[in-house]
Amino acid sequence: MEPIKIVVRYSNGKVLKGFTNDFFPDKSLFHLRPLDNIAGGELVEVLIIDLKAVFFVKDFTGDSSYNEKKEFAEGRKPTGRKIEVTFLDGEVLVGTTTGYDPKRQGFFLFPADPQSNNLRTFIVSTYVSQVKYL
């Protein structure tokens, strides 16, 4: 299995970047090989309950000057339900989901903006203040 590029955002604001081979949305933990320790070294055990979200990214640098669009492109037919997610810290993400259920530990959001650096985001339900269907 090819390692997947992720950025982990903890609920306390801590951020880790690296690779994972064992993330599953129904598991309570996974392992991360930190970006600054690719050559070997220790894996970091990541508990889902401690997180805000896991961002599955195209690259680790992104473009800090790019403001991700919060609306869907005209004529684009996204798969799933269109939603707006507001986190407890006030951050808002817009995209689609096929599996939102507030009783689950989390759900995937696919960004509305095709230019987003995020391929998809696993959002931890306990760190969500509101989900609005669009």
Task: Please name the amino acid found at residue 81.
Answer: R
Structural domain range at position 90: 81-133
Query: What digits encode the pLDDT tens for the residues 65-75?
Result: 888 888 887 77
pLDDT band, residue 93 (cuts 50/70/90): very high
> Which of 18-22, 24-28, 46-50, 78-82 has the weakest average pLDDT?
78-82
Does residue 87 contact residue 52 with C-beta atoms inside 8 Å? yes
d(CA 113, CA 52): 20
Distance, C-alpha 28 to centroid of its chain: 16
**CA distances from residue 131 to 12, 27, 96 in whole angstroms, order as listed:** 21, 22, 11
d(CA 94, CA 99): 15
CATH number of 92's domain: 2.30.30.100
The single-letter DSSP state of residue 133 is E
What pTM was estimated for this model as a whole? 0.92
Do 42 and 9 lie in one domain? The reply is yes
Task: Tell me what the mean pLDDT of segment 45-58 comes to.
Answer: 97
Q: Which helix (H) or strand (E) holds 83?
A: strand 81-87
Do 53 and 90 lie in one domain? The reply is no
Cβ atoms within 10 A of the Cβ of 60, count? 13
Query: What digits encode the pLDDT tens for the residues 113-125?
Result: 989 999 999 999 9
Domain count of the fold of the chain: 2
Q: Does the residue 49 lie in any domain?
A: yes
Do 8 and 53 lie in one domain? The reply is yes
Does residue 134 contact residue 85 with C-beta atoms inside 8 Å? no
Q: Take residue 7 and report the two structure tokens written for it.
A: 């950025």
Q: Does the residue 124 lie in any domain?
A: yes
